[in-house]
Every structure is written in structure tokens, then in C-alpha cells.
Chain A
Amino acid sequence: MSNSHGPQAKAYWKENIRLVLSLLTIWFVASFGMGILFADALDEFRFFGFKFGFWMAQQGSIFCFVILIFIYVYKMNKLDHKYGVDEDQDHFAPDNSYYDKKESEE
């Protein structure tokens, strides 16, 4: 994609926003929802030796955060590729030979 203003760019941005919003919803539910607002209610359920709300607050939410970022990375790389804006596409463009330049400068 040669310019960053066209309808392609708008569509790319729209899909990006949708992805980010859906992931942030999960982020909010896992931490603020299950770990704080509804932690007491979830404590009624057992999860191995844990009360579930307590586990979400001190362990589960952190695991969710890690997974969310990796899902984001995977989906964004696919999205970049779909719209042809990923950085591999301009692999042979002169200005992406950053490392080579670096070497020759030193």
C-alpha cells in the first residue's frame, strides 16, 4: 500500500480498532471484573485449592494478560499481511536496508 490515507488504510484501521476493543474487553473482565468487582461472588467456587476470585486476582488475571498480548501479536501480523502493510513487504525497498547501512557506517 503506497499511501496511508486511502480507503485501504481506513479499513485496516477499523479492523485494528475492533480487535483492540475486543481484547481490551476481555482484559477488563478478567482483571477488574473477576479479580475485583465480582471476586467475592466468585470465591464461592473452588478451583483446586483456591477460591476462584482470589485465584483470578493473584494468578489468573496475569496469565490472561500474557495470552492477550500474544493473541494480539498473532492477529495483528495477519492483519498487516492482509492489507499489505507489514514490514516484510518492503523488504527490498532501499530505505529498509537499515542494518546494512549501520554496518557500513561503523
Chain B
Amino acid sequence: MDVQTLTFIFVGVTFALYIGIAIWARAGNTDDFYVAGGGVPPLANGMATAADWMSAASFISMAGIISFVGRDGAVYLMGWTGGYVLLALLLAPYLRKFGKYTVPDFIGDRYYSDIARLVAVVCVLFVSFTYVAGQMRGVGIVFSRFLEVEITTGVLIGMTIVFFYAVLGGMKGITYTQVAQYCVLIFAFLVPAIFISIMMTGNPVPQLGFGSTLADGSNIYLLDKLDQLSTELGFAAYTAGNKSTIDVFFITAALMVGTAGLPHVIVRFFTVPKVRDARISAGYALVFIAILYTTAPALASFARVNLINTVSNTNYKATPSWFKNWENTNLIAWVDKNQDGKIQYFSGKAFGGKPQFINTRGSEGQRQIANTPTANKNELYIDRDIMVLANPEIANLPNWVIALVAAGGLAAALSTAAGLLLVISTSISHDLLKKIFLKNITDRQELFFARVAAALAIVIAGYFGIHPPGFVAQVVAFAFGLAASSFFPVILMGIFSKRMNREGAISGMITGLAFTAGYIVYFKFIDPSANTTENWWFGVSPEGIGTLGMVFNFIVAILVSRVTAPPPDEIKDMVDDIRIPQGAGASYHHKAS
């Protein structure tokens, strides 16, 4: 069977599975809709959290980025896993004991203030919409590459599927589809990785193959070979860092703390029955995430060695078929600067910007482009996403593996999109309407509003997926920076400091937000040309500035709380109560009704 038919079958079967789960897991009340009735077993929650967390970016782009930046790629690897330690040790158990539905719930109640609640809602909406637009786009791209449909059609299909299980099933539907999606995506990621590991090093475990010798009989360690190849071609050594240490430090910290502060991740820990379950499910979640996150850097290095060996100084006509296939999908471009018919691959850009293909072929049969070539020796343009997407072809795997990768990419994008959409709808129906503007609505009405909000959010997200604003890539720094500089400090102090009061929390949140947003907006939008190391404060890039914003949040909050009235006694009692696991099942039930 050809790839296209197989892909249709795989994607069709997985989608039918997701819809089936949605119908089975319909939500009957807000408790079901917001937190799956609080009855999700920890192991299932761990899987759902992993799928919720690992997006199209983790599945498709991360290994590719690491492949091109080498050791510095560790900022993502450590940043997006280390946050779970903070979550498990500092936040998850206590938020579960608190036993409500959302992050703004906690902030509003703990700081006895609707202003604090409102600030939190605004942050939640901003962070989640930023993220979800990228996921919908990811769905469209996977569809267009593997099934040759328009991106718009792909996004519409994705919207319909998410609509089904998010609007119908709420958190309950989302949780169990995420469990299924985790299984699909991890299988799809591991199969090609294992085969390519065997091909390169003879070891079926990618994490071990990563540190083994090459299978070509040369008896050289893979990474040493990679360092040697990289330096020969004018790149920095793969295993050496290029970014300044301080910047790597700050970016990693911002990603870690941001991860721990992301509302769609935090809310997953509200769905388990007990405090103890919240702790262990953070552990399970990290295991499931680590399976992909320790495989990705191995895959990155295999793909890199393989790429260099395959293309460097090879005649265009002699390149394998995957090279031409991906050239046809615009992800590879070659300009024969010295007219020798061979591909010269060196450090530096072959031409400015993305390739603008024209409808003619060159002397070797290559697709020609309209871009002006640069003066350097490099002739090759490669999109980073290719490292994961083209792997099955590079490793000569059967067609069903290619179809599997397509289904896996869709699972990764859809699971994250659904989690984000739920957070958006909850913060509108629960935090904004029920808690602030329409306090008298019944549970049924609230559930109705939650469904309407989810449907609206899907439409808006779909719109951004079809018409992506040019700044989507730039605003990713925002999501983590804002989560790190706003939520994390106030939640942490809400649990660990009884003295922290309303005034301190609000001023801290606003300081952290204003500083971080201001810094990012300045360097990304107002004066992008100034976005260089010399102009950065302390050499910290906009990606890492959330860490500094967090520090300012802590300092301001502590100073302000010391000169204003302490929180009322019932708040102190509440803090005492959330510090003790006992009675978590109970706290759920009476607050839910």
C-alpha cells in the first residue's frame, strides 16, 4: 500500500478512537467538565499530563533544533523537564489539597481579592491562546505534508475533532483521549528512533547508541565523529556550548519555572483523588516525558551525522530519494554556487530567508529558487523539522512507519490544544462568570457557558491556525516568561508563606508581568535590531528574562507585604489546612457542590 493510503488509515483509526472515547466520557456536571470528577487514576493522569505537555513542538521541532545547535539544545531538555520537580515538590500536592478547579481560583481565594483573580485570568488567557494557535497550525502542517490537503482543510478537520471531545467530554473526555494520544505519539517517536539507532550504532536503545561507537567499523564514538565533522565544515563542535553560560542559565530557569507555572499543566493535578496521587502522578508524568526527552537528543545526533554523511560533497543526482521528496515539499533547497553538481554543505546561510521556489529545474534537475545566494561556500538550505519528519525515509523504514509519524504528530498537537482549550473555557465560565460577574448561575448554566466558551475558543484558535499572526514564533518566549514571572512566585508564596498578603501578591504579579512583558516587547517588536547580546541586561536574552521577572516579583511582593496588614486569620487557617494531606477527598466534595 502507498504511504498516502496508509496515512489516511492510521489517522482515520486514531481519530475514530478519540471520538469514541469522547462519547464514552461525556461530562454530566461542571465537576466532570473541569476536573474529570476528580477521579482520574494517577498513572492515567501521568500519561495524560505527558501528552498535554508534549506539543507539536516537542514531537516535531525539538530534535531538529538540538540537531542544529548541539549542546545548547539542553536548555529545552532540562528546562522542559526540570520544572516537574518544582511542580511535584512545591505546588501540585498543595494545590490538589486546596481542591478547586483553576489557578485563578487559588490566587483569588488565597489572596482574598477579585483583582488578583482577574489579573490571573488575564494571564491565563494570554498564555493559553499564545500556545494554542501554534498547535492548530501544527495540525494543519502535518495534514498538508502527509496527506496533501490544504493547511486550511487540515486545521478545520483538527478543529472538528477537538470540538467533539473537548466540548462534549470536557476534562473527562480530554483526559482519556490524552492517554490514547500519549500511546500513539510515543510509539510513533520511538519506532524510527530505534531503527535509526540500530542503523548508526548497532544499539537498539537510542540513549545507549548515543554514547556508542559507529557501526561502520571505524570504532570512533558517534559524538567524537560528530564533533570532527562539524568542525571540518566550519560549524562549532556539537558537544560544545555556544551561548553564553549566563544566558543558558537564565533561559533554562525561565523554562523550568514557566513549566511549573503553566495553567494547563497545573490543572491536571486537580483531577486525581488524593494528595498522594498528585505527588506520584507528577513522577509518572515525568517518566513518560523523559522517554521522549532522552530519546530526542540521541535522535538529533544520529540524524545530524547521517545528514552530513549523506549530503556533504555528494552529487545532487546521487542523493537518496528522501532528499528529493523533501525538496519537493519546500523543506530542502540547493543552489549550486560553484556549478560542480555537488552539494557543498558548510556553516552559514546559503541564502537569505526561506527559499522562494520558482517553477524551473536547474541543470542537475534541482528546483531553482529566486533568493539571492550569499557569498559563503554553503549551498544547502535545510528546514530543522526535517530531522524528525524525514527520519523514517532516511532509515529506509517501511511505509507504515511514515504513516505512524503523521498520526503521532497529530496526536501531539491535538492533545496539547485540547488541554489549553479547556483551561481557556474554564477560566471564562468559572473564574470570570461564576466567580466575578454572574455569581448566581446554577451548575447547569455554568456547564452550558463552559461548553460555549470551549466552542468559541476552538473557533478563535482555528482562525489563528489558518491565519497565523507573523509573531507566533516570537511570542513563545512570552508564554513561559509570563508564567514564570507571574504565577509561580504568587502560588509558591501562597503555600509557603502565611505572611504573604493581597497587597504583596498583586504588586508582585504586576511587577513581574510588566517587567517581563516590557523587556520582551521592546526587543521583539519595538526595536528588534537592538536584540543583541551587548544590549541585553546582564547578557540575558528575552527568552530568559522571565527568570529576572520572577526574582523582581518575589522581592516586591515580600517588601510590600511587610509594610501592609497581614492576611486575615481565616486565610492563615486555609494555608495551614492545605499543608496537611489529610481530608483531600473531603475538601473536594463539599467545595464542588
Contact = CB atoms under 8 A, between A and B. Distances in A.
A13 B306 CA distance: 53
Nearest to A55: B211
Contacts of B28: 106
Interface in A18-50: 20, 23-24, 27, 31-32, 35-37, 39-40, 43, 47-50
Contact of A99 (B39, B240, B282): B39
Given A4-B577, A5-B576, A63-B294, A72 B88 contact: yes
A92 interface: no
B283 interface: yes
Contacts of B211: 47-50, 55
A69 B276 contact: no
A24 B192 CA distance: 35
Q: How large is the interface on A (under 10, 10 to 19, 20 to 34, 35 or more residues)?
A: 35 or more
Contacts of B582: 1, 85-87, 89-90
A81 to B, nearest CB: 10
A85 B249 CA distance: 38
Chain B contact residues: helix, strand, loop or mixed: helix
B586 interface: yes
A68 B87 CA distance: 12
A17 B71 CA distance: 34
Given A50-B211, A62-B77, A1 B297 contact: no
A99 to B, nearest CB: 7
A32 B249 contact: yes
A58 B249 contact: no
Interface string A69-106: 11011001100100001110110010110110110001
Contact of B84 (A69, A85, A86, A93): A69
B579 A13 contact: yes
B290 A66 contact: yes
Nearest to B278: A73
Interface string A46-62: 01111100110111011
Q: How large is the interface on B (under 10, 10 to 19, 20 to 34, 35 or more residues)?
A: 35 or more
B229 to A, nearest CB: 15
A72 B282 CA distance: 11
A47 B223 CA distance: 12
Given A50-B210, A59-B294, A65-B81, A87 B280 contact: no
A95 B585 contact: yes
Most B CB within 10 A of own CB, among A62, A98, A101, A102: A62
Contacts of B275: 87
Contacts of A55: 211
B90 A20 contact: yes
Given A50-B211, A87-B584, A9 B576 contact: yes
Contacts of B93: 76
B43 interface: no
Contacts of B577: 4
B585 A96 contact: yes
Contacts of B342: none
Contacts of B286: 65-66, 69
A32 B276 CA distance: 28
Given A69-B85, A69-B88, A85-B582, 16 more contacts: A17-B496, A23-B89, A32-B249, A36-B245, A49-B212, A51-B239, A61-B78, A62-B77, A62-B78, A62-B294, A63-B294, A73-B280, A96-B583, A96-B585, A98-B585, A99-B273
18 contacts: A9-B580, A39-B241, A49-B223, A50-B210, A55-B211, A57-B77, A58-B66, A62-B78, A62-B81, A65-B81, A69-B88, A72-B283, A73-B88, A76-B93, A77-B276, A80-B276, A90-B582, A101-B589
Interface of B: 28, 37-39, 66, 71, 73-74, 77-78, 81-82, 84-85, 88-90, 93, 207, 210-213, 221-224, 239-241, 245, 248-249, 252-253, 256, 273-276, 279-280, 282-283, 286-287, 290, 293-294, 297, 496, 573, 576-577, 579-586, 588-590
